[in-house]
Structure formats: structure tokens, C-alpha cells
A and B are shown apart, each in its own frame.
Chain A
């Protein structure tokens, strides 16, 4: 089989062997959950419950009437104890609904719905009502991705199982253990978008999944997906970071490049993480909203690397030490992977809808470097996944030359962190670009305002 890829990128040590062979464990009865009102890209939510209310697993507890609306649901049965700011994985410490378990095991799910016989609007409404967001990390509302304007016809849907972040194995385990659910979810997306072609993409370090996936596809095409003319292929990509980035994935599989400032739908593609697809299939088959999620708990300071499914809002410290045991020498906790994940200051941070992993690092691994001078070695230029020139961008930002930074494509940076990873002088490249993008947007806004007067 031909192994596809993109230009640039890097190959950090995978470290996936830690948790790769540990089957997913379910820990669905935490003593409390902390559900943040906003754990997604889009309109801010309002609580639908008040302190003292009794809630049931699956009940909608937060929503908004904004355009990018995504509701959140109670992930356990219990009583609302508090609605207050709590530590959050994005370091913003937003307002959260704290639910204390009361021991009931009821479920308030939606009725099951057949995605292949209901209308397109009903199907999209279901995905919206189920509160599904992209589970790969960005947390973009899934129903939005499935509602492209008519001017942007879609011809391929990609199931993203690349999982290019080191350490993380939850997508691998999901594909290995629940391939039929993922394929079903992909079929739902094809149905909603009226597209025939689907691709399940994995990196070649997960090539052992190939027979499992092909069998699941064959079963789906002769079962629920029969007679629709679906064409679902499994594609193997080179193991390389950031292969699972939407843009890189699309380019590797189709040769198309998402235009600057555009979205995958601009090149006729929709990309969904495999965890999201599994959540979609559950939303239809069981009527279950997105209330549980899988993540990988791993790292050099984790004595028990494993893949877990927990109710969303489960606080990390509540899993320690009964489920996750950590070393004394813990120095860094990352929500997400080590390349793009966020280091959090406290173990009291809850798992949210977009938490794909928690990496615990010991003092040997958790390193911070003082920034050195750029020696212009050009490693970042070769590694940049967007073919930008990080060394030159860095210079432009340091010189406050925002026109040059704009010209060099600062806003095209996807913040994958490859430049900083490869830099021998430990220049704060991606870190400076993150801040620089905000500044550049502000500079441009100020300029256009001035021009309008």
C-alpha cells in the first residue's frame, strides 16, 4: 500500500508503546463532575439549572441561542452543588456547573434516531442537541462542519485516525475496539452531506488496524450502509507530526491545499476525529449525548499508563490514585499531547469534551529552556508544516514589522509547534507566533478602521 504524506513536519519519539496495548477501561461513577459552560469554539453558554437542582445523566444543563450553539449535558446523576469558576484546561478558569453524584443510575437520553431514514435537518439537529464537538482537540461544533453552504460542495469525508501527537493512543484503541461505531459515524456524515466517498486515515504506526477497519467497513457497507453507493477506503499515512492536522491530512490524502484563511470545506472536504464519529453513532443509535469521552493517561510520571473512558467533567485528582497512579517526581501535567497540549497548574482540572489525553511528566522529562539567539540554522524552515519561514517570522515580530510578518504568512501558522520542537537554540517560535497572531489581527483591525474613517 502506498503511504501518503505532506511536505515538512518532524518525527518526535512516539512513546505510544506505554499505553498502546492497554484496553480501554470504563470509570463512569466519579463522586462529582465539573462541567464548564464553555468547552468549545462558539457562543458562550448559560446554565439551565440552578444550585440545588437534581439532574440526571444525559439531561441538558447548559445552552445558548448563539449561532455556534453547543449544549452541555449532565454526565452523571446528582445534585448541582455549585455554579462557579473552576480550573480549566484552557487556563481560563471559566464558570462550571459542579454536580455531586447521588448514586442513581438513570439516564435521560434522547430517543434513538435512524440517520438513514430521517431528514438531513433532523440529523443535524440531533448532532447539535447531542452537544458534539470535535474531540481531536480544537472543539469546533460538529454540526457546523456538517452544514456547509450550498456554494461549497463536499466530495469526501475523512475520518481522522492519524493521532500524530506522541504518547496518545485513545484514537488507536477506539479504532481497535470500536471500529464499527466509527465507521457508522462516518456513514452518518456521508449521508448528511450527500457524499459517496469516505476515507479512514491512519498513520503507518497503526497499520495493524488495517484488517479490523476493512472488516468493519465491509460489514457496514453490507449492513446499515447498504445500497447507498458509499465508497469507504482505509488510507495509510506516513507516521509524522503533524500528520493529523486537518490541512496536512487533506493534502496528504487528496493533494488539495486548504486556501489561506479558508476551511476544509473550501476544498470539498470534511474531517472528523474518530472519537467524534463514535460519539455521532451513539447519538443516533442510543440517543446518547456527548457525556463520556476516552482519553489516554500516560507519561514518564504515570505509573499506570492506560486508556480510560470517563464522564465529561471528571476531575483528574478524583481519579488519583484509585485509577491513575503518579510518581512522586511529577513536574508537569499536560492536557492533550506534548506538542500542542496545555500545561495545567493543578490536578483539579476536569476532563472536557476535547481532552484527548493527559500526559504526566517527571523532572527528567519536563524541561524548560532559556531562549537563545537564533543561529539561523534553518531547521524550522524545513520542518514547518505550512512551509512558512519561522526564523524570518520571528525576526519580523521582534522588529515589530507587522506588514512583513503578515506577508510571511503569520496568520497561516497552525501553531503545531514543530518549529520550536526542532530549534537547537530554543527560540520561542510558536510561542511568539501565538501572541503575534493576536497582535497582527489587532493591528490589521486598527488599520482597516482607520482606512474607513
Chain B
């Protein structure tokens, strides 16, 4: 037996589930595809350009940064593609390409690689990218276009949330969406034929992606559910239309795809619930009292900062029931 390869030695277990990081990231990409394609369908070439530039430059920046810092290349785990895609989907379709590149730079290099890469970033990279762009170029990042219009010669419009922020009513929103009765606004918002960021508009398609992630065991329902329910209840308390608040803006997109980000959100069940509650409340506070009509990004980013604390709320360990515990 001397010429045989030697027996493998490693500490048990000796078997593993087939699951790996690459496959999890692939699931997220698949879950994002319906709303991605719909965004391209709604806004055409500019949306497609933004998506391709964002994904391409994200992967580029990761590879270059890791090369320059002599770190191991990780592009095979697909996480840079996920970050790039998420960033594109929360940008307006008309974002100039060089702004998208800057956003990807902020996401990948500043938010992720500076902290050690995948697994170490305290804040959601895509949201950091968007936040930095929004602060740097507030005008461009709040310029919206109506669906199905070539952006070059189209007039700008306001998102449903904008209209309300500027003192408009549901009737004004209905008019802007081109639906007859104010009651039809909800259905239109649910289906997604409205102006907004590339990937945030169709609640239906976002939920389909979310169901895929739940079915594959990629995410747990607990954080999105707690965030959306909190936003619903809290907006009611603030005297806003809760259904409208949930269906408009990026709330559902954020709840399904950002509040479920593994790295920047809590690991513990209690922490997940509180994360959703906090993000829901902050989002609604910004929408009601803040300078911007939308607050989902900041709601999640602020809660990202609480994640280390929320991770201390661990489940009761086995064997810590006091007493003999006899039935």
C-alpha cells in the first residue's frame, strides 16, 4: 500500500452539506432577476446601462483592490456581483454612469474591502454606496422619470412618495400614475408601474424573489416581516396611510433584500426582530419628519450600527434551566 495516496486526516465532521457561499449568492442573484428585468422593461436602456456599469465596476474594484493588497481573490463567491446588482437596483435609472462607478467604488472599496472583505463589513455595502451618492449628488439621485419614456427627451416627474412629501394627496398620486380612482393606486403600486429606483417598484416581483429566498432557506422571514409590520403600524400611529407607505418607496425591497443581508444584520432571533422594528420606525420617522421623502436606506444603515449590540441578545443556552426541572 506504500505507493497509494495517503489517507486524509482532519478533525470531524467528515461530511458537509453541499451548501456553499457561492450558491447562496447565486440564489440572491436569481431572486433579484424578476425585479431587475422589470426595471429594464420599465426604464429601458438607461436602467440596463446602470445595472451593467454597477455590476461590472463592482467586480473590477474588488479584483483590483485584492490584487493591490495581495489578498486572495474572491470573485468566485459572486458577492461582488450581488453588491453591484443591489446598488444598481436602488439607484434612479437616469444616474450618470460615472456616478454609478463612484457608487460601486464606495460600496466595494470603502464599505467592504476596507473592513476586510465579505463577512467583515459592518454596513450594507450597496446602501453605503447609495448613501454616499445621495449626499454627494442629491439632485441627480432624486431625479425621476416616468416609465416607458426615453429618458433623453422625457420630462422629470415625482415619485408617489415625493408627491405626498410635497403636500399632495392620494388623488394627485392617482393622476400622476394615470389611474382613474385613488383606490386603484394601491394595485398599481403593488404591480409596480410607477417612477422610482430601478428595482424597487414592483412589490409583486420583489415578493416573488423573497419567496424564492425563503423556499431555498437562504433567508428567514422574521426580519422582513418585523420591519414591514412595524412600518405599517408606526405609519398608522403617525397619521399616515399605512398601506400606501408600505407599497411605495423602497421599503419592501429594503426589507426583503437589505435587512436580510447576512453580514450587516443580527444573527440572533431576538436581534433580527428588533432590527426590523428599528428599521421600520426610523424609515417612517424620516418619511414623516426628514428632509428626504424616502428613509429606508438610512433606516437599515442606522440599524446596521446596532447589529453588534443586537448580537448580544442570544437565545437561552441548553442546560441553564434552574432547578431539577422534573415533571
Residues of chain A having any CB pair with chain B under 8 Å? 10, 12-13, 155, 166, 247, 251, 254-262, 266-268, 330-334, 336, 338-347, 359, 361, 365-369, 372-379, 381, 385-389, 391-392, 408-409, 412, 417, 420-426, 428, 430-431, 434
A-side contacts of B119, CB under 8 Å: 373-376, 425
Cα distance A408–B315 in the bound complex, in angstroms: 10
The SS class assigned to the B binding surface is loop
Q: A375-B263, A377-B24, A389-B314 are in contact. Are A267 and B325 (CB under 8 A)?
A: yes
Bitwise, B9-21 to A at CB < 8 A (1) or not (0) is 1111111110111
Q: Are B9 and A376 in contact (CB under 8 A)?
A: no
**B268 contacts partner chain A, Cβ-Cβ < 8 Å:** yes
**B30 contacts partner chain A, Cβ-Cβ < 8 Å:** no
Cα distance A241–B11 in the bound complex, in angstroms: 18
Cα distance A368–B5 in the bound complex, in angstroms: 15
CB nearest neighbor in A for B20 = A424
A-side contacts of B116, CB under 8 Å: 373
Q: Are A425 and B319 in contact (CB under 8 A)?
A: no
The SS class assigned to the A binding surface is loop
Q: List 14 A-B contacts (CB under 8 A).
A: A12-B17, A260-B317, A338-B12, A343-B10, A345-B6, A345-B7, A345-B9, A359-B14, A365-B15, A368-B10, A372-B77, A422-B17, A426-B16, A426-B20
Q: Are A369 and B16 in contact (CB under 8 A)?
A: yes
B-side contacts of A367, CB under 8 Å: 16
Q: A267-B324, A377-B262, A392-B267 are in contact. Are A259 and B10 (CB under 8 A)?
A: no
CB nearest neighbor in A for B120 = A373
Cα distance A155–B327 in the bound complex, in angstroms: 11
**B311 contacts partner chain A, Cβ-Cβ < 8 Å:** yes
Q: Are B24 and A431 in contact (CB under 8 A)?
A: no
Q: In angstroms, how far is the closest chain A Cβ from the Cβ of B75?
A: 14
Q: In angstroms, how far is the closest chain B Cβ from the Cβ of A14?
A: 11
A-side contacts of B289, CB under 8 Å: none
Cα distance A407–B15 in the bound complex, in angstroms: 29
Cα distance A343–B217 in the bound complex, in angstroms: 31
Q: Are B14 and A338 in contact (CB under 8 A)?
A: yes
Q: In angstroms, how far is the closest chain B Cβ from the Cβ of A17?
A: 16
B-side contacts of A256, CB under 8 Å: 324-327
Cα distance A425–B24 in the bound complex, in angstroms: 10
CB nearest neighbor in A for B314 = A389
Q: Which of A254, A257, A342 contacts B318 (CB 8 A)?
A: A257
Q: Are A412 and B14 in contact (CB under 8 A)?
A: no
Q: Which of A259, A381, A422 contacts B268 (CB 8 A)?
A: A381
Bitwise, B303-317 to A at CB < 8 A (1) or not (0) is 000000001001111
CB nearest neighbor in A for B317 = A409
Q: In angstroms, how far is the closest chain A Cβ from the Cβ of B97?
A: 30
| A-B contacts besides A381-B267, A392-B267, A423-B16, 7 pairs, CB < 8 Å | A247-B319, A255-B327, A256-B327, A257-B319, A331-B5, A331-B8, A430-B13
**B64 contacts partner chain A, Cβ-Cβ < 8 Å:** no
Q: Are B15 and A392 in contact (CB under 8 A)?
A: no
Cα distance A332–B4 in the bound complex, in angstroms: 12
In residues 101-138 of chain B, which contact A (Cβ within 8 Å)?
116-120
A-side contacts of B16, CB under 8 Å: 367, 369, 420-421, 423, 426
Cα distance A260–B320 in the bound complex, in angstroms: 6
B-side contacts of A389, CB under 8 Å: 267-268, 311, 314-315
Q: Are A421 and B11 in contact (CB under 8 A)?
A: no
Q: Which of A155, A259, A266, A339 contacts B15 (CB 8 A)?
A: A339
**B237 contacts partner chain A, Cβ-Cβ < 8 Å:** no
Cα distance A12–B16 in the bound complex, in angstroms: 8
Q: Are B21 and A340 in contact (CB under 8 A)?
A: no
Which of A345, A412, A425 neighbours the largest number of chain B CB atoms within 10 Å of its CB?
A425
Q: Are A421 and B319 in contact (CB under 8 A)?
A: no
Q: Which of B268, B311, B315, B326 contacts A267 (CB 8 A)?
A: B326
B-side contacts of A347, CB under 8 Å: 1
B-side contacts of A155, CB under 8 Å: 326
A-side contacts of B1, CB under 8 Å: 347
Bitwise, B25-68 to A at CB < 8 A (1) or not (0) is 00000000000000000000000000000000000000000000
**B23 contacts partner chain A, Cβ-Cβ < 8 Å:** yes
Q: A255-B327, A332-B14, A424-B24 are in contact. Are A262 and B315 (CB under 8 A)?
A: no
Cα distance A369–B17 in the bound complex, in angstroms: 12
Q: Are A388 and B317 in contact (CB under 8 A)?
A: yes
**9 interchain residue pairs of minimum CB distance:** A373-B119, A417-B13, A386-B318, A260-B319, A424-B19, A431-B11, A338-B14, A338-B15, A409-B317
**B152 contacts partner chain A, Cβ-Cβ < 8 Å:** no
Cα distance A373–B21 in the bound complex, in angstroms: 10
Q: Are A392 and B314 in contact (CB under 8 A)?
A: yes
**B321 contacts partner chain A, Cβ-Cβ < 8 Å:** yes
CB nearest neighbor in B for A374 = B119
Q: Are A343 and B12 in contact (CB under 8 A)?
A: yes
A-side contacts of B21, CB under 8 Å: 372, 375, 424-425
B-side contacts of A339, CB under 8 Å: 12-15
A-side contacts of B262, CB under 8 Å: 375-378
Q: In angstroms, how far is the closest chain A Cβ from the Cβ of B94?
A: 33
Cα distance A339–B16 in the bound complex, in angstroms: 9
B-side contacts of A259, CB under 8 Å: 319-321
Cα distance A385–B315 in the bound complex, in angstroms: 12
A-side contacts of B326, CB under 8 Å: 155, 256, 267-268
Q: In angstroms, how far is the closest chain B Cβ from the Cβ of A344?
A: 7
Q: Are B263 and A376 in contact (CB under 8 A)?
A: yes
Q: In angstroms, how far is the closest chain A Cβ from the Cβ of B306?
A: 15
A-side contacts of B23, CB under 8 Å: 424
Cα distance A347–B244 in the bound complex, in angstroms: 69
In residues 199-246 of chain B, which contact A (Cβ within 8 Å)?
220
Q: In angstroms, how far is the closest chain B Cβ from the Cβ of A395?
A: 9
Q: Are A375 and B12 in contact (CB under 8 A)?
A: no
Q: In angstroms, how far is the closest chain B Cβ from the Cβ of A450?
A: 27
Cα distance A258–B326 in the bound complex, in angstroms: 11
Which of B77, B120, B314, B319 neighbours the largest number of chain A CB atoms within 10 Å of its CB?
B319
Q: A255-B325, A373-B119, A376-B262 are in contact. Are A334 and B14 (CB under 8 A)?
A: yes
Q: In angstroms, how far is the closest chain A Cβ from the Cβ of B311?
A: 6
Q: A259-B319, A375-B118, A392-B267 are in contact. Are A166 and B15 (CB under 8 A)?
A: yes
Cα distance A331–B118 in the bound complex, in angstroms: 33
Q: In angstroms, how far is the closest chain A Cβ from the Cβ of B90?
A: 21
